[in-house]
Amino acid sequence: MKRLIQHGLMFGNLIEVSSPALVARYNRALDSLTGKTTSLTDFHIDISGYSPEIGDELGNHLYLNHGGCNRQFILLTTDQKTAPLLNAQFSTSRGILRQFIERNESQLFALTTRDAVAGELLNSVYAVDDPLALFDIRQITIEADTTEAHVSDANRLEGMINRFRNTDDGWLDDVLIADMITLAKKTGDVTRQPIALKTPTFKQENFWSAHFGGVYLFQNMDHPALISREDKEPLGNKLPIKHVFDFDNRNQIAKFLEYNDLVEPIVKARGVDAAAILQQKMDFIVMDVAADAGEDLTGATRRDIRALARRYGRDLPQEFHGLADLLRWANGAGKWPKITSEHPAYFYTLRARNHADKDLVNMLLAELSPKDIRQLFICHKERFYRDYMSWPDAKKGYVAEFLARDYMVDKAGARAALFGGETPMEGETPKQVQRFSGPWGGAV
């Protein structure tokens, strides 16, 4: 992973915590949430306050996410809103945290100048030991306060003020007045500077979960389904949903995407250079074959990749040949190829339409077309990091250099060129209600 870290492709945009005051605040919050503290004097945190260094120290990288459910968080600064979410167990978690920070930015800025804000993403279950539990996670509510309870104390003070104002002879209640003065010393004047956090409830109906090997649950659809990356049989046959597929059910997944109007062929999408996208996907496949053959890919150019394609032509998989046929059609040099859902190249030819579940569908497509390492990195970093560890060294070097050169210099531009629209990838702004549909331009 060293290459990825050096290029900013892993642990990038984490927030450094090095001042004694911030470390002390973090420890107070950590102790209040978990009963543990850190002896580290400097470390880095993600949007939720999770630190990989502290995870190593405690021997538990889920120390803020016990059982992978009801993620806890520690906010030291509103700058955390731009940080990634590491060890994500649900695709919606980062977006919910970011939206919470943005909706309460001024209040959180004021609160974090004097204390850490600690909280939890609450849902109706406390463990996901059974696949049935996924269907009980229908909404997420955020609960948050400082370690010194500034928010709850401010709410208490406001209640006291209302009692004082609305009770006959309230000004004669010496105990009430004394309590108000004591609390006001801690909270400040809540009549002029109210302390209140907006904690909206987020619907979570369509999402990815890392549990059970990775599953995609689409409940709010005209044709609902659960799609499992691994064999669906261990999930059982008592799930409260009609359709359960795994990645071997390619035709059923393709029909699911079509019936719900979730995808479009890249070659028919507006505002994209389809030929360039297809060519890059083919280059990744060539690189994959060449790396397995022991080729040195350091500094490989497009010309080098073409030479490798000629050299290893007989070894190139069907994904390459299917995309090559489609590229010839896109360039006006061939007829429309018949690429059905049974063809290994099929899911490489699609992208999500611009709807509320765009990021989730592109995440699914990335897993169904894993040789496209750029889409895999952008849409599903957890799977990318896991796959990266098993790659030959030549492939690791080429991929790290390519992503640093092609993607990191202009992330927004690269995402727009590949996926269109303005919906950010990586779950940045989930919708509270997810309903959308539209025409589909492909054929199964």
Please give the torsion angle defined by the CA atoms of residues 417, 327, 358 and 364, in that order, rounded to the nearest 10 degrees: -130
**Cβ proximity of 90 and 64 under 8 Å:** no
Question: What is the pLDDT, as a whole number, of residue 153?
Answer: 63
Question: What is the pLDDT, as a whole number, of residue 444?
Answer: 30
Tokens (6 digits) for 322: 């299917």
Tokens (6 digits) for 439: 């025409």
Question: What is the pLDDT, as a whole number, of residue 182?
Answer: 73
Distance CA 29, CA 422 (A): 36
- Strand positions, DSSP E, 374-426: none
Residue range 45-102, pLDDT digits in tens: 999 999 999 999 999 999 999 888 889 999 999 999 999 999 999 999 999 999 999 9
Give the phi and the psi of residue 208 in degrees, each rounded to 5: -105, 145
DSSP 291: H
- pLDDT exceeds cutoff 80 at 318: yes
- pLDDT exceeds cutoff 80 at 353: yes
pLDDT, mean of residues 414-442: 49
Residue with tokens 């920070």: 101
Q: How confident is the model at residue 155 (pLDDT cuts 50, 70, 90)?
A: low
Distance CA 181, CA 60 (A): 43
- Name the 3-class secondary structure at 47: coil
Can you give the pTM of this predicted structure?
A: 0.84
Question: What is the pLDDT, as a whole number, of residue 147?
Answer: 79
Question: What is the pLDDT, as a whole number, of residue 191?
Answer: 44
DSSP 220: S
Distance CA 411, CA 404 (A): 10
**Do β-strands 350-352 and 263-265 pair in parallel, antiparallel, or remain unpaired?**
antiparallel
Q: Residues near 172 by Cβ (< 8 Å), separated by ≥ 6? A: none
pLDDT, mean of residues 93-115: 88
Give the phi and the psi of residue 142 in degrees, each rounded to 5: -100, 130
Distance CA 76, CA 79 (A): 8
**Do β-strands 72-75 and 117-122 pair in parallel, antiparallel, or remain unpaired?**
antiparallel
